[in-house]
Amino acid sequence: MYIRGKVSWLIILLLTAGLLLPGISKPFIGHHDWNGVFYGNIARNYLRLGWLTKLGQVTNFGVINQPKNFYTHYPPLLTWIMALSFKLFGLGDWQARLVPVLFTFGSIWLLNQLFIYFKFSLSVRLAGLAVMVTPMWRYFALMPSQEALIIFFSLLSVLSFLKNQQKIFYFSVIMNGLSGWSGYFLYPWLWLLDRRRQWLITAGLLLTAVFLLHLGHVYLLTGSVAGGGLFEALKLRLNLAGTEGFTWWKYLILERQRLAAFYTLSLLGVAVFSTLLWRDRLVVALLGWGLSYPLIFSNVVYIHDYFNIFFIPWLAVATAYFFNKIKYRWVFVTGLWLAVFFERLNFYQALAATKAQQQSMEIGKMINQAVPENETAYFLSDHIFNESQNLFISFYADRVVEYIDEPKLAPSGAKYVFNKQQRIN
């Protein structure tokens, strides 16, 4: 039995590695890769500035002697870990992508442990893990962002809660709070499990304390608990500021299309049928958590499709429950994997091949080679290009870059002026 368990986990590990590792060295030039350059730059600043940052997330690009602007919308755990990756393995794209990949490996391991807790057979466990071949997880598992951490610590919370591991549960709650806000929505749904409710009350107090510490940290960095536009961002995410083009009808249609594209109708159909037929409390709780972020923070999900990633635990557990109830499992599990893998394969391949920021990366590298570390570069282009591409150019330039849309805006005698095609001065 022990050997069989080791072999089954080795199979899962090899499958995961085969799905994720081929894309780990891709530069940040694709769909939603602004996360990689934004958080990668913050992590790079930690190495350069050290304690000068007061552990804050400095967003300035290039060589800087004193922090100027801080990112306060999220806690800094992600960028702390990315900085550690850079410290250990050097600066680079794969070193940044390694962080979400490792947490995704961890999440798959936790799902497998959860299925073992329920005494599911290998075939049932593999059925639940079919979620890892969906475009959602295959693509966004390589994106440096808080979501990879949140899914990991949320699954750790669920597993330790079920297994009566109090210390691990509280640890996972605190880590979830330090990762981002969507993890907060999990714990009220665990109330449905009708056990250890005092733990959940304590979890709420711990998360409140973490949030207050975050506000205190923001005050230390900016002189205001709302510094860095924290509350303006919250208002926007709650859709209280009004989002151009947003209507709930349009949003629901868009969500239906996205869920089908990123998760496949095959997997969604099995999970929905399982949820409606057996109404297991854990499955319902995980579905509630997956729905919470899109419903509460409708603005950000309307704009950024990857925030639908919190449906993954529900899909995995609901699918496993379904296959645990049927016969001839290996035949149907094989069919499910093939259906999920091939249904949206073209869509996934298109995602993986996106190179919208290829030119910006090349411009940035050109500036890096031409401009000394302590000099300022000026980049001339139209306002729309500058607005949409400045993060990518500045990240790969690793220099202070000023963006202008008219030549006269460059200082007289500026030594380093560039446009899309070439250096012009």
DSSP string, 233-257: HHHHHTT-S--TT--HHHHHHHHHH
pLDDT of residue 4: 54
Spell out the per-residue pLDDT of the chain, length 425, in tens. Answer: 445 556 677 777 888 888 889 999 999 999 999 999 999 999 999 999 987 889 999 999 998 888 889 999 999 999 999 999 999 999 999 999 999 999 999 999 999 999 999 999 999 999 999 999 999 999 999 999 999 999 999 999 999 999 999 999 999 999 999 999 999 999 999 999 999 999 999 999 999 999 999 999 999 999 999 999 988 888 888 888 767 788 999 999 999 999 999 999 999 999 999 999 988 999 999 999 999 999 999 999 999 999 999 999 999 999 999 999 988 789 999 999 999 999 999 999 999 999 999 999 999 999 999 999 999 999 999 999 999 999 999 999 999 999 999 989 999 889 999 998 888 87
413: left (phi over 0), alpha (psi -120 to 50) or beta: left
What is the per-residue burial (b if ≥16 Cβ within 10 Å, else e) of 197-229? Answer: eebbebbeebbeebeeebeebbeebbeebebbe
Work out the number of other CB atoms within 10 angstroms of the CB of residue 1: 5
Give the tokens for residue 209: 């304390």
What type of residue sits at position 314?
W
Cβ neighbors of 78 (< 8 A, separation 6 or more) are 39, 99, 144, 145, 146, 149, 179, 180
Distance separating alpha carbons of residues 389 and 410, to the nearest angstrom: 19
Of the chain, the end-to-end C-alpha distance in Å amounts to 70
Total-model pTM: 0.96
Cβ neighbors of 157 (< 8 A, separation 6 or more) are 169, 172, 173, 176, 183, 186, 187, 190, 203
Give the tokens for residue 105: 């490996």
pLDDT of residue 328: 79
Beta strand pairing status for 417-418 and 376-380?
A: parallel
3-state helix, strand, coil in the chain (%, to 5): 70, 5, 25
Distance separating alpha carbons of residues 257 and 298, to the nearest angstrom: 16
Q: Residue 119 burial by CB count (10 A; 0-12/13-18/19+): exposed, middle or buried?
A: exposed
> Which ranges in 118-247 belong to alpha helices (H)?
122-128, 135-140, 146-162, 166-179, 186-189, 197-222, 230-237
pLDDT of residue 3: 52
CB 414 within 8 A of CB 378: yes
pLDDT of residue 69: 93
CB 263 within 8 A of CB 313: no
CB 392 within 8 A of CB 37: yes
Q: How far is CA 231 from the centre of its chain?
A: 21
Give the tokens for residue 341: 């893998």
Distance separating alpha carbons of residues 189 and 200, to the nearest angstrom: 10
